[in-house]
Amino acid sequence: MKRISELFFWVPNFITAMNLASGSLAVFFGIEGQLGWAAIFILAASVFDFLDGFAARLLNSYSEVGKQMDSLSDLVSFGLAPAAMLFTMLELALFGKNQPIFEIEATPLQWIFLLSVLLVPISGAFRLAKFNVDTRQTESFLGLPIPANAIFYASLGLILELGANEVVTKIILSRFNLLTVMIVLSALMLSEIPMFSLKFKHLKWTGNEVRFVFIAFCVVLAILLQFYALPLIIVGYIVLSLLQKLIA
């Protein structure tokens, strides 16, 4: 009689495929300047990314093919898709509009600004490759997880689409701010800084202190700021991880 893992190996792989499909749609919408839809599909991809691992553990259905497919899907959903969004945001910052790439009339320096978004998927690829071969990252992470990187950019897109006021829009669509954020987040993905995982082995306070504090932080921010809370949640995750390293 076949094991459950052999009978249902396709379940986590199907969920991973939904991650890839969502990420691909996010790329399409991001390039077209539909930042809200791109953000929604990145967030959907992050849900599928969580569920495929959950399904694999629940069904005890692990495979090398599934592992590789997960990384390839993550590169599209959390590397290329946010880069497409960032490209559009830099277009808006430079020219005030989104346009087909062959119609962009830019100076060499402006092209450097626009193409600098390639740093995001390149850093993400190194992050994923490192994770796949690094045995130290079984219970926590070294460097910013690539989904957190993508969710930050998705949150900026949502804020712009769902009613950012003029001040917030200017802050987000600042060339300096966008490039600074891109460089910092890409550097964090490549770093050796320990970042905590949200995987619970049990529900006791001891051993899960930082996780419970982070969840409470997320709930409070979401109540107070609604969708404006998303980028601050990612910042909070980074800060809590740094504090945990300093205290430990």
Structural domain of residue 19, as residue ranges? 4-194
Assigned token pair, 233:
């949640």
* SS3 (DSSP) at 142: strand
Tokens 């949640």 appear where? 233
pLDDT, position 137: 62
pLDDT, position 118: 96
Question: pLDDT in tens for each of the 248 residues of the chain?
Answer: 455 555 566 788 888 899 999 999 999 999 999 999 999 999 999 999 888 777 777 777 667 776 788 889 999 999 999 999 999 999 999 998 888 888 888 889 999 999 999 999 999 999 998 888 876 666 678 889 999 999 999 999 999 988 768 888 899 999 999 999 999 999 999 998 888 877 766 567 776 778 888 899 899 998 988 888 889 999 999 998 888 777 76
Supply φ then ψ for residue 72, to 5 degrees: -65, -40
In CATH, what number is assigned to the domain containing residue 9?
1.20.120
pLDDT, position 37: 95
Structural domain contains residue 22: yes
Query: Residue 229's closest CA among 239, 217, 213?
Result: 217
Q: How far apart are alpha carbons 216 and 68 in whole angstroms? A: 34
pLDDT, position 24: 96
Tokens 């690539």 appear where? 146
* Residues 30 and 38: beta-carbon distance below 8 Å: yes
CA 143 to chain centre: 13
Query: Residue 120's closest CA among 63, 40, 188, 23?
Result: 188
Torsion angle (degrees, nearest 10) of CA 49, 50, 53, 58: -140
Structural domain contains residue 228: no
Tokens 């969920």 appear where? 15
Tokens 């909070």 appear where? 236
pLDDT, position 1: 44
Structural domain contains residue 163: yes
Structural domain contains residue 232: no
**Total number of domains in the chain:** 1
Assigned token pair, 68:
């590789």
Assigned token pair, 69:
């497919």
Structural domain contains residue 117: yes
Q: How far is CA 115 from CA 7, 150, 157, 181, in A?
A: 45, 18, 19, 15
List the beta bridge partners of residue 195: 141
Structural domain contains residue 157: yes
Q: How far is CA 227 from CA 43, 136, 155, 156, in A?
A: 12, 34, 7, 10
Structural domain contains residue 243: no
Taking the alpha carbons of 229, 232, 236, 238 in that order, is the dihedral positive or negative?
positive
Q: Which residues contact 114 (CB under 8 A, 6 or more apart)?
A: 87, 90, 91, 94, 104, 106
Structural domain contains residue 79: yes
